[in-house]
């Protein structure tokens, strides 16, 4: 029996959403043990948050640098750290842990600018450590199967990529109500220069690239901020040109009234189309030209090997967001064990988003900002 | 009892789709009688097509000019003409009948360029005759209700307009297989300079404008032709700026594998969103911020007055495309009778698309072509 | 060109629903001309209703017997009559027209008791005339395709038949509000001894038999009347045993709050299942064991020959209730012309419900009533 | 911080499905620690299974009696045991742990006959210990909300209850292929006298009772076994009479080709209807008479307090089967802590299915078997 990976967490104190989601994801398959944290920069809150999680008080840090140093020195120190702070801290925190030889799991967007992303990619590369960026939606079994279908040619040559991500939680100025999630996301000092663009646009971009296997060559974009007084965009519109000639559109909005978390991807190829809707991840639609649409269920034989590998329950027993998230953690664990045992990892596990994907997300943000500032001119990705 | 309107038709001979649809639409509510036609420019085909429709052989013309002249002279001559020819003939045929004092029902796009559209609008205005452009989808009861909801402020201030029209019937080079519908649509000489743009893009544009009540101020567009050897676009991507600040995207494609006739409109306002899908016209979704989504059914009390006026069957007894189409004919008949009786028509009937809407559709096409040629630059509508 | 069939109508005066539906159905394909009617037994209302329909006043009768006689004598007399009266008149009216050599189209349930149904079947048989009972839902293209799939063995051996018909229009005592449709349906003197059972239960029964090709051998039933003061059932529950061993359930209710006209059929065989929902007749689900569910669209190639024959529009251009209804009229017209021309009709047209199906519907009602009265005992169909 | 509950498990060795599901459910909210098990009666398999779960080898038992005795003696012995054996062992295992003062979590059906269920209810009552029966589906947030809506009168007086549970995994004789899950379920010696009836019928029965708050007074049933050579039923049809006058039907099948795990409940009251589909547990439909249907989302404010209490993620981030299951464990933990602290538990937690519900499930099975044997006669529940 393989031992559980010892995990630390930076950020994710009481009341946060994403820290708790990471912890459930890590716990679901019982391959991790959370043993240390810098859950808050406020010492009291750091201790209280740690106590709730049954952490040893001695391993509840208020400073991530101290945590990196001390954990690196312990015989039973953490193997990996999960970073769930506001965006502006991703880079320094990740750098600190890499420096101390600790593997990194980092939320997105990876940094607040492309230069930092490049720097971080270099650091990670030099360290030789594992670095996962949590584009959660790529953990869904049917997203994996969609990728597999495309790669196998089931769609023919892809012509059109339509991806969208619609939410409505910022349809009103929630950031002025004291809600913490909204507050830092609306603050350029902590979120960086991208609002909805960084928060959900990067997820849409990653999903489209992950499934289609295509690379955006150029884009033309416009950002809008609909809610008065908001400094960052809450609405993103992008036209896409892909290498090889495909065309597409990306739309992300946090003011789309009535939308909860509607991330949808539609691909159209010369032979078939494909449709995935994150709010109903138990089914994937394959729509061949001239034949009935097929509803492929997660858990069914027809969903293929990649989906089966990422499933925990039989068809009809709904899985969801936690399981998708847990799949990233499970794949990361697989890579970690393979590395320790000196064996070749399952190529499927190697599909998890890495520092390179994080860097591509930042290149997307960078291009959208440049195009927007240039009046929606076509610009290339750097 | 009001007498039936005497109708003529130009185009729409054997084997065509849209002519037959117009005839069913005119017949459904029993307010028209088809009595004359220039169904084909081939005399034999014109006669044969007329015989199938129980037309008097004397009123089966091979030349639309002769038809206009002779019908204008008859005591029992046609009251109105329906024009269902390829696009390049819309203008001269409409002009000929207007000239002879005959009301016009014309398919879209109204002409093949903006100058002709301006000219036709002028002619129609001077004639004082009724002129309807058949943007069929505006005849759906729940499209009418959607417009009513927006006008009543149910959505608050509209921020986002997402409209799309996806088909796949031209995913392969059907125009080279001898299929007539595809053949003329792919031929710039008969279709004009716009392919999917003119064929379905204008429908999407009209629907968005009809329901939202908003006007596009500027757009940025790119056209693509995916199928080798095709001269006209089969794929259209447009970003939209509306007067008043709303933003939007329009996407129309005839190569979207697995899509039949998927015209969808989504509006997002400060208070609620709205979703209509032409393939399921029996329901309309209203999605208020912070409350459950409501599925409004056609035929139900909750669908309101405008929808009730345009409905023929109780809820749960599906209506469809023919009824939407018939509603345009029924409203046109209402306007015709009101005019003859010298009474004010129901304002609801006056919502049918007119020569002005046809002209706006051409302005949209014109702007998209200019933006595309200018490398997706933002251009204003003329 | 074939001449239009001359049609008369008994019942269906101003304000009724089903008479108007029959008229649209007859008109849709332009193969009938309504030329005579006994639209009401009230002479003034009969004349007024006729005038609205452009009928010759001389052919607006107040008495169906007079109509049968006089029309039979005219050289241009009606070829066929449509009977849309309350149930208790179906038998005498049908008998009168058969007697005068006029073909009959009759609404369901065909009579108010099994003995009358037997008598009518005998009369119709002896007359050699066409007799159609309008089980509308069997006119849907995808219902035809479902039957075709079953017959071709796509489901394997059918094991389970689940059919249901849920409405809510009688959830409150509408019959006491003066609403005419509700009034006579709630009156045993006009509706017969079956309420929801006769009004919608027979439709469900016919649909199940039509698609599955199976015959009910025995049933066990319970009727309920939920609305106080109502004399007839508004809720029907039946367990079914089919010849050959299949089992099933039938449920029909007019008090199912929130249901409009939800007639659904699900079949499960040894190889695949099948699902049709009348409220969304544009799609049919085929669910093979161990493979993805297929959504078959009306108008698509995959829908097969029977559906294509009954379609008027391409996929994605919704058809509905009127077209299903019109298909029965179109098939009846086909049989009428074939008979006049002495040629063999298309077997597909011969699938329309006949007097024998009407009689089976009455046998179903009869068995349900007997089982109910015997405390839900299993009883055989007579 | 409350300590984690120490949990043992009987059954659930390598390869099983339901044991693993229980473990994830217990782990999800981090309130349990699995510390002991009699995972298999085969000593080697018991040890191997335990090792995989990081259990202390000393606490991996091959005999549940030994486990009960020894764990009861340990200072750090288990607080509660989860029983996931084949049905015939539920009773003796539960009795053994109750006897040793250990709280019990038991899978369903609770026993193999009503007498044992009565005996077990008595034992549990006398012990004063907690006893949960895992009717998983009652843990869904929207099932809780549905119950809350009914209790608050949103449906008015309930008239109709339609519940069904359709699967297809036994459409072929899987039990003869060596598949363990199928094997014991098809064996009367281990499953008891009820096949699909016990496996899924009891879930449907519990769900209907849980949400409606109604009690079945009488039922009439028929069981069928479609697959040749199968000794137990694979298809169940039941008509239901409820105290107070409501009527209903229950249908459960394991041969419904194309169905995965389709547990659906529909209630119809005098004011509104309600629809829940287990395969899409993120939404609940409320269908008021005369107003648009409402789609209530899990995670949204409109889902109310009971659902919010049982939710872990915001709307649009799908939860599923594991979270429903985990909710039962979380509620059980809440009751356990409240009891230890001598405080009154949250009434919402007290809704988890208890030994009394398990006993009612057996009374349902007993009545169905009696009715079936008596030729579908109406029988009362004992």
> For residue A261, which residues of chain D lie inside 8 Å, CB to CB?
314-317
Q: How far from chain centre, in Å, is Cα C202? A: 8
What residues contact C350, with CB distance under 8 A and at least 6 apart? Answer: C331, C335
C133-162: per-residue pLDDT in tens? Answer: 999 999 999 999 999 999 999 999 999 999
pLDDT, residue D17, reads: 85
Shortest Cα distance, chain D CAs vs residue A76, angstroms: 18
**Distance from C-alpha of B315 to C-alpha of B321, rounded to nearest angstrom:** 16
**Distance from C-alpha of C113 to C-alpha of C121, rounded to nearest angstrom:** 13
Residue C14 has pLDDT above 90, yes or no: no
> For residue B169, which residues of chain C lie inside 8 Å, CB to CB?
314
Average pLDDT score, chain C: 97
B133-180: per-residue pLDDT in tens? Answer: 999 999 999 999 999 999 999 999 999 999 999 999 999 999 999 888
pLDDT, residue A178, reads: 86
- Are D267 and D248 in contact by the 8 Å Cβ rule? The answer is no
What residues contact B3, with CB distance under 8 A and at least 6 apart? Answer: none
Among the partner-chain residues A4, A52, A318, the one whose CB lies closest to the CB of D279 is A318
Of the pLDDT bands very low, low, confident and very high (cuts 50, 70, 90), residue B16 is confident
Among the partner-chain residues D293, D297, D300, the one whose CB lies closest to the CB of B295 is D293
- Are C368 and C361 in contact by the 8 Å Cβ rule? The answer is no
Shortest Cα distance, chain A CAs vs residue C276, angstroms: 15
A162-195: per-residue pLDDT in tens? Answer: 999 999 999 999 999 988 889 999 999 999 999 9
Are B237 and A249 in contact (CB < 8 Å)? Answer: yes
Phi, psi of A158 (to 5 degrees): -75, 130
**DSSP character string of B243-287:** TTS-EEEEEEES--TT-SSEEEEEEEESSEEEEEETTSTTEEEEE
pLDDT, residue A12, reads: 94
The answer to whether residue A271 neighbours chain D at the CB level (below 8 Å) is: no
Are D295 and B292 in contact (CB < 8 Å)? Answer: yes
- The interface residues of chain B toward chain A in range 156-215, judged by CB-CB distance below 8 A, are 156, 159-160, 162, 164, 166, 168, 171-172
The answer to whether residue D152 neighbours chain A at the CB level (below 8 Å) is: no
Among the partner-chain residues D256, D285, D287, the one whose CB lies closest to the CB of C268 is D256
pLDDT, residue C94, reads: 98
> For residue A248, which residues of chain B lie inside 8 Å, CB to CB?
237
> For residue C297, which residues of chain A lie inside 8 Å, CB to CB?
292-293
Right CATH number for B140-311+358-373 from 2.30.300.10, 3.30.360.10, 3.40.50.300, 3.40.30.10? 3.30.360.10
> For residue D376, which residues of chain C lie inside 8 Å, CB to CB?
220, 239, 376, 378
pLDDT, residue C1, reads: 67
Are B237 and A226 in contact (CB < 8 Å)? Answer: no
What is the number of helices (H) and of strands (E) in chain A? Answer: 13, 14
> For residue B272, which residues of chain A lie inside 8 Å, CB to CB?
257-258
Length of chain A (residues)? 382
**Nearest-Cα residue of chain C relative to residue B315:** C260
- Which chains have 3+ CB pairs within 8 A of D? A, B, C
User: Region A244-260: what's the mean pLDDT?
Assistant: 98
Query: Would you call A79 helix, strand, or coil by DSSP?
Result: coil
- Are A326 and A320 in contact by the 8 Å Cβ rule? The answer is no
CB atoms closer than 10 angstroms to residue B309 = 15
- Are A329 and A144 in contact by the 8 Å Cβ rule? The answer is no
User: Region A29-50: what's the mean pLDDT?
Assistant: 95
Residue D376 has pLDDT above 90, yes or no: yes
What is the number of helices (H) and of strands (E) in chain C? Answer: 13, 14
**Nearest-Cα residue of chain C relative to residue A290:** C301
Are A235 and B269 in contact (CB < 8 Å)? Answer: no
Q: Specify the CATH class of C139-313+358-373 in words.
A: alpha beta
Are B293 and D295 in contact (CB < 8 Å)? Answer: yes
- Are C168 and C256 in contact by the 8 Å Cβ rule? The answer is yes
- Are C217 and C210 in contact by the 8 Å Cβ rule? The answer is no
C78-113: per-residue pLDDT in tens? Answer: 999 999 999 999 999 999 999 999 999 999 999 999
**Token digits of residue D1:** 């911080």
The answer to whether residue B255 neighbours chain A at the CB level (below 8 Å) is: yes
C182-221: per-residue pLDDT in tens? Answer: 999 999 999 999 999 999 999 999 999 999 999 999 999 9
Of the pLDDT bands very low, low, confident and very high (cuts 50, 70, 90), residue D214 is very high
- Are A11 and A339 in contact by the 8 Å Cβ rule? The answer is no
The answer to whether residue D247 neighbours chain C at the CB level (below 8 Å) is: yes
Residue D1 has pLDDT above 70, yes or no: no
> For residue C378, which residues of chain D lie inside 8 Å, CB to CB?
375-376
> For residue C320, which residues of chain B lie inside 8 Å, CB to CB?
282, 313, 317-320, 323
Q: What angle do CA D300, D305, D307 make, to 5 degrees?
A: 60
The answer to whether residue B47 neighbours chain C at the CB level (below 8 Å) is: no
Maximum CA extent, chain A: 65
A308-318: per-residue pLDDT in tens? Answer: 999 999 999 99
Are D261 and A322 in contact (CB < 8 Å)? Answer: no
CATH 3.30.450.20 applies to domain A140-313+358-373: no
- What DSSP state is assigned to residue B365? H
Residue whose tokens read 């997300």: A361
The answer to whether residue C302 neighbours chain A at the CB level (below 8 Å) is: yes
Shortest Cα distance, chain A CAs vs residue B163, angstroms: 12
Are A249 and B257 in contact (CB < 8 Å)? Answer: no
> For residue B300, which residues of chain D lie inside 8 Å, CB to CB?
290, 292
D99-135: per-residue pLDDT in tens? Answer: 999 999 999 999 999 999 999 999 999 999 999 999 9
The answer to whether residue A295 neighbours chain D at the CB level (below 8 Å) is: no
Shortest Cα distance, chain C CAs vs residue B28, angstroms: 6
Percent of chain B with pLDDT over 90: 96
**Token digits of residue A319:** 């899985």
Percent of chain A with pLDDT over 70: 100
**Nearest-Cα residue of chain D relative to residue A19:** D313
- Are A372 and A223 in contact by the 8 Å Cβ rule? The answer is yes
pLDDT, residue A312, reads: 96
Are A160 and B268 in contact (CB < 8 Å)? Answer: no
pLDDT, residue D180, reads: 85
C259-318: per-residue pLDDT in tens? Answer: 999 999 999 999 999 999 999 999 999 999 999 999 999 999 889 999 999 999 999 999
**Nearest-Cα residue of chain A relative to residue D25:** A28
Are C295 and A290 in contact (CB < 8 Å)? Answer: no
Query: Would you call A8 helix, strand, or coil by DSSP?
Result: strand
The packing angle between helices D18-28 and A18-28, to 10°, is 150
The answer to whether residue B257 neighbours chain D at the CB level (below 8 Å) is: no
Among the partner-chain residues C23, C54, C318, the one whose CB lies closest to the CB of B321 is C318
Phi, psi of D167 (to 5 degrees): -130, 170
User: Region A351-361: what's the mean pLDDT?
Assistant: 97
User: Region A71-91: what's the mean pLDDT?
Assistant: 97
Among the partner-chain residues B27, B30, B52, the one whose CB lies closest to the CB of C1 is B52
What is the enclosing helix (H) or strand (E) of C202? helix C202-212
Residue D253 has pLDDT above 80, yes or no: yes
Percent of chain C with pLDDT over 70: 100
Are B289 and A249 in contact (CB < 8 Å)? Answer: no
Beta strands in chain C (DSSP E): 5-11, 32-38, 80-84, 103-106, 131-133, 158-166, 216-224, 235-242, 247-253, 262-269, 272-277, 283-288, 293-297, 379-380
The answer to whether residue B286 neighbours chain D at the CB level (below 8 Å) is: yes
The residue extents of the domains of chain C are 5-129, 139-313+358-373
> For residue A169, which residues of chain D lie inside 8 Å, CB to CB?
314
**Nearest-Cα residue of chain D relative to residue C162:** D251
**DSSP character string of D167-186:** --TTSS-GGGTT-HHHHHHT
**Token digits of residue B232:** 């006209």
The answer to whether residue D279 neighbours chain C at the CB level (below 8 Å) is: no
User: Region A18-31: what's the mean pLDDT?
Assistant: 96
**Token digits of residue B328:** 């345009």
**Nearest-Cα residue of chain A relative to residue D264:** A316
**Token digits of residue D354:** 């208890």
B71-94: per-residue pLDDT in tens? Answer: 999 999 999 999 999 999 999 999
Q: How many CA atoms lie within 13 A of B336 on its CB side?
A: 25
**Distance from C-alpha of D174 to C-alpha of D354, rounded to nearest angstrom:** 32
Average pLDDT score, chain B: 97
The answer to whether residue D313 neighbours chain A at the CB level (below 8 Å) is: yes
- Are C241 and C171 in contact by the 8 Å Cβ rule? The answer is no
The answer to whether residue D339 neighbours chain A at the CB level (below 8 Å) is: no
**Distance from C-alpha of A65 to C-alpha of A61, rounded to nearest angstrom:** 9
B47-77: per-residue pLDDT in tens? Answer: 999 999 999 999 999 999 999 999 999 999 9
Are A21 and D313 in contact (CB < 8 Å)? Answer: yes
Shortest Cα distance, chain B CAs vs residue D81, angstroms: 40
User: Which CATH superfamily includes the segment(s) D142-315+358-373?
Assistant: Dihydrodipicolinate Reductase; domain 2 (3.30.360.10)
Size of interface B-D (CB pairs under 8 A): 33
What is the enclosing helix (H) or strand (E) of D216? strand D216-224
What residues contact D381, with CB distance under 8 A and at least 6 apart? Answer: D215, D216, D217, D218, D219, D360, D363, D364, D366, D367
What residues contact A175, with CB distance under 8 A and at least 6 apart? Answer: A182, A183, A185, A186, A187, A230
The packing angle between helices D87-99 and D114-127, to 10°, is 20
**Token digits of residue C123:** 């009369």
Domain A5-129, CATH: 3.40.50.720
Query: Would you call B148 helix, strand, or coil by DSSP?
Result: helix
pLDDT, residue D16, reads: 79
Shortest Cα distance, chain B CAs vs residue D31, angstroms: 32
> Among positive and negative, which fits the CA dihedral B134, B140, B141, B143?
negative
Residue A343 has pLDDT above 90, yes or no: yes
Residue C15 has pLDDT above 90, yes or no: no
What is the enclosing helix (H) or strand (E) of C184? helix C180-185
Predicted complex ipTM: 0.96
Of the pLDDT bands very low, low, confident and very high (cuts 50, 70, 90), residue A17 is confident
Residue whose tokens read 């849920």: C166
**Nearest-Cα residue of chain D relative to residue C219:** D376
pLDDT, residue B1, reads: 67
């Amino acid at each position: 029996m393989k031992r559980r990976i010892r995990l630390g967490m930076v950020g994710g104190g009481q009341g946060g959403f994403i820290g708790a989601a990471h912890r459930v994801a890590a716990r679901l398959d019982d391959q991790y043990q959370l043993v240390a944290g810098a859950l808050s920069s406020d010492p009291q809150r750091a201790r209280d948050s740690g106590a709730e999680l049954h952490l040893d008080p001695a391993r509840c840090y208020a400073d991530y640098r101290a945590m990196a140093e001390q954990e690196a020195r312990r015989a039973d120190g953490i193997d990996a750290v999960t970073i769930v702070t506001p965006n502006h801290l991703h880079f320094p925190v990740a750098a600190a842990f890499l420096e101390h030889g600790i593997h990194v799991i980092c939320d997105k967007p990876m940094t607040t600018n492309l230069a930092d992303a490049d720097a971080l990619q270099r650091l990670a590369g030099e360290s030789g450590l594992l670095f996962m960026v949590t584009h959660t939606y790529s953990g869904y079994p049917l997203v994996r199967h969609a990728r597999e279908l495309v790669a196998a040619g089931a769609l023919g040559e892809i012509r059109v990529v339509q991806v969208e991500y619609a939410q409505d939680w910022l349809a009103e100025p929630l950031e002025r109500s004291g809600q913490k999630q909204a507050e830092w996301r609306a603050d350029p000092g902590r979120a960086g220069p991208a609002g909805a663009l960084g928060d959900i646009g990067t997820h849409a971009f990653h999903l489209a690239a992950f499934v289609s296997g295509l690379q955006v060559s150029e884009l033309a974009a416009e950002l809008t901020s609909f809610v008065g007084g908001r400094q960052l965009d809450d609405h993103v519109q992008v036209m896409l040109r892909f290498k090889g000639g495909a065309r597409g559109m990306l739309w992300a909005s946090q003011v789309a009234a009535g939308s909860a978390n509607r991330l949808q991807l539609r691909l159209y190829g010369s032979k078939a189309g494909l449709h995935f809707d994150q709010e109903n991840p138990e089914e994937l639609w394959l729509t061949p030209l001239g034949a009935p649409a097929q509803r492929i269920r997660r858990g069914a034989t027809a969903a293929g090997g990649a989906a089966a590998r990422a499933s925990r329950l039989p068809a009809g027993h709904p899985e969801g967001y936690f399981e998708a998230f847990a799949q990233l953690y499970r794949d990361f664990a697989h890579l970690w064990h393979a590395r320790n045992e000196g064996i070749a990892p399952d190529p499927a596990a190697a599909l998890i988003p890495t520092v390179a994907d994080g860097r591509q997300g930042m290149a997307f943000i960078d291009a959208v900002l440049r195009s927007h500032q240039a009046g929606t001119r076509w610009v290339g990705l750097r």
